[in-house]
Structure 1
């Protein structure tokens, strides 16, 4: 046996954390490949790997044939040659030859060493990938060793991991040697080592921090239903208790805010709103808009959207800085929310009682059926109107026609108002240009 090969195997056994069965399979595979390269086949060869000594024995099974009848030197041996070892051998018996691997050529030995190292690296890469893939979602502590504009490279024990720019908290500053907590977000196969991606901006990081700080979440008593986050600025998190005796929001905040403060410190004072989840979409949307309380929430379940009517003085808070609060509330509730000022909304609403083109009898029937505004009736449509006692198909069609005409008149008035303003503006401009007196109250003249 070539001593260089034995020493290489013994070194690998000491340094590499590979299961014995896997290591043995690698050794056998590598040497069988070398045998096939030398003999053209490996079918009758056995490779025995001694794990304790770290060496290898190779055997070749041959069939004993008559002297002078040898046709296949790899698989056959003449009787006289076999009887040199044991005179009792006879033709047809199996003869096992010990192969001296040391007599293989130098190129073969070098190929064995290279093949062995390559297979070990492949196994290590696969083991590393599997280890970290199973840890996706886990919080880890990593040490920074390289900082660039595109990414930060860190070490977890002896394994390098990557914190990309878009997985960082934008307002954090990092330094060499700093230890930071992150979540393992993804593991990707590459031509070299597995690429392990960690994150501090992912909503999953917030979830894991709450599990660490709030035992009731870790134990499953309180459940995190959904999270909306703009890392570095603000997070909204909805929680629900599976035990009616436990307040989910209070448990997350902790006594004197101890639990939530620990999370806020970890995130460099990122604002966190903890909201009690509700299966009722309207109630949950109201809570999601915290700290603002909407006057009304109008939901369109088909479009997964909702209009939220906000008191005029609170509209800025509802929208938030650069629209942040309404975005987070939309993400949290999974409804596209459209904030509308109270004054704008109710100004647009036309009450049934004010529609003069409907007689009092029809108005009373509509109001008795809980229709108060024109929009409600137009949204209901013909079929719903015909369900009201005393309103048939003809009457329902007439009601729709009258109410739709109101909006046509309103649009026409708005257009005329716009034309009037444009005309007055033109007169003013002409007056300045010509320096003549013009009566700005003159009505526009129609030009045919």
Structure 2
């Protein structure tokens, strides 16, 4: 091959594969070096240099100058080296030119394979570097082939994969069709970079809205959450950083033009655009639209909310096959329980009746006094026992003498109950050390004993969520559970003070592992 043709080939390959010309020339040098070693011996240090301007190929054998010869193929004595070059020193290299290689059929094929492999590696590296920074972007491509329900998409300078689960239901493409999807992952793998795209990812909808709504692109309106049932229905929560701009109206557009553009791309997927609110109750009420909500009760510790709707709104709030409430739950991050007004009223009456009976039995009072206590918000005997006398006396129909008597009876009942629970705790064999831990009342101690948690080590071996599961209705919050477990593990640390607060979980895990190793 003429020298100038060699450089022309390198330029052509670089342009076609989208890689640097230098990488192609380096691949050619490696191929010629490989052929040289096959001819002159693999043990020799043979190197190739292609002149970047003229295309001249220099094939050289390098010899290292050494005091003592360990490998005659790659080393030369310093005495002999100085005869050839008086300035040679130990550690220097002498280069002997080798005659050009006459490539035979096998050598040429081998060189071609080396060049192809190196060029392919360079192309893969270029693709990965180019697309790893395009994660979370929308890309357009042409369907190259379909297999196993998924697609291989030609992006121009790379290929991407859309798996079957990342396509909308009932959506079909043929070879040559244009497809638009969201790049959610780019991985470096031995067979080359793998680019994964999706049309069902929630962020695909977010990016489509950003393309259709200039206010989102300019960050005047922000998308806070997206929940999708791909191909069927979706909810998107938005808020505006400019009080003069309605975020919902801006996303809908004139006569629904903006939202319809997104709906069209998503094969008719219905989209509810919802006003986001920092108040969880208001946000959840908005998320359940179009259903109307009459009452909400939040449990912030467990992130669970109870929603009451009119009887005729129940099916609308739940949605077909639970779709509306499921999407609202995914959108807000809260577990949502839906009750009708009739169900809520019936449950409230049952609670009122059961609490009244509990007070009648525990305090030996008639139903009128019990009803008054429940109406005033008292739910346990302990609350009555520890309530200030003047607070009880302030209940309409109560006098100070009656309030004092109720407090006395409640305190006596609590004391008797605790005494019975303590006796039961001792029967179960729960140690006094466990009973001394702050935050464990007699009822919890009995529950621990019934679950074979009797010593500090038994309690310390638990994780916070395991303790909560064992205690059920008696369970504290996860933070309190972790604090109890850390107190049980205090003796594992010796004289060290156990950590608390945000580090409790990490320290608890480390201590448990150390304890387990010690037992082994």
TM above 0.5, one fold?
Answer: yes
Contact 1:64–1:79 at 8 Å: present in 2 too?
A: no
Residue aligning to 1:395: 410
Q: Which has the higher helix share?
A: 2
CA distance in 2, matches of 1:4, 1:355: 101
**Per-residue deviation at 1:14?**
5.0
Deviation by residue 1:142-169 (Cα, 9 ceiling, x = unmatched): 2234344521333222643332221111
Residue aligning to 1:317: 316
Query: Following superposition of structure 1 onto structure 2, how do residues 10-29 of structure 1 map, counting pairs within 5 Å?
Result: 12-13=13-14, 15-29=16-30
- Aligned CA distance change for structure 1 residues 381 and 125 (closer, same or farther; 3 Å): farther
Structure 2: runs of 5 or more not aligned? 393-402, 417-520
Residue aligning to 2:232: 233
Is it true that 1:330 corresponds to 2:329 in the alignment? yes
Deviation by residue 1:236-292 (Cα, 9 ceiling, x = unmatched): 001121222222112111223221121122222211111111111111111110111
**TM-score normalised by structure 2 residue count:** 0.63
CA distance in 2, matches of 1:78, 1:307: 90
- Aligned CA distance change for structure 1 residues 343 and 132 (closer, same or farther; 3 Å): same
Residue aligning to 2:171: 172
CA distance in 1, matches of 2:61, 2:179: 58
DSSP-derived class of the 2:101 partner? helix
Query: Following superposition of structure 1 onto structure 2, how do residues 359-374 of structure 1 map, counting pairs within 5 Å?
Result: 367=375, 371=377
Give the length in aligned residue pairs: 382
CA distance in 2, matches of 1:151, 1:385: 67
**Per-residue deviation at 1:33?**
5.1
Query: Following superposition of structure 1 onto structure 2, how do residues 21-420 of structure 1 map, counting pairs within 5 Å?
Result: 21-32=22-33, 38-40=40-42, 47-60=48-61, 72=72, 96-102=95-101, 110-157=109-156, 159-350=158-349, 355=356, 357=360, 367=375, 371=377, 377-378=378-379, 382=382, 386-387=386-387, 389-390=391-392, 392=407, 394-395=409-410
- Aligned CA distance change for structure 1 residues 329 and 74 (closer, same or farther; 3 Å): closer
- Aligned CA distance change for structure 1 residues 14 and 163 (closer, same or farther; 3 Å): closer
Contact 1:183–1:205 at 8 Å: present in 2 too?
A: yes
Contact 1:382–1:393 at 8 Å: present in 2 too?
A: no
Residue aligning to 1:446: none
- Aligned CA distance change for structure 1 residues 11 and 147 (closer, same or farther; 3 Å): closer
**TM-score normalised by structure 1 residue count:** 0.72
Contact 1:62–1:77 at 8 Å: present in 2 too?
A: no
**Alpha carbon RMSD of aligned pairs, Å?**
4.0
DSSP-derived class of the 2:283 partner? helix
When structure 1 is superposed on structure 2, of 128-137 and 231-240 the one drifting more is 128-137
- Aligned CA distance change for structure 1 residues 32 and 171 (closer, same or farther; 3 Å): same
**Per-residue deviation at 1:311?**
0.9
DSSP-derived class of the 2:196 partner? strand
Contact 1:188–1:195 at 8 Å: present in 2 too?
A: yes
CA distance in 1, matches of 2:277, 2:100: 74
If asked which structure has higher relative contact order (CA below 8 Å, sep 6+), I would say: 1
When structure 1 is superposed on structure 2, of 139-148 and 116-125 the one drifting more is 139-148
CA distance in 1, matches of 2:412, 2:126: 73
DSSP-derived class of the 2:290 partner? coil
Rg (Cα) greater in structure: 1
CA distance in 2, matches of 1:363, 1:127: 77
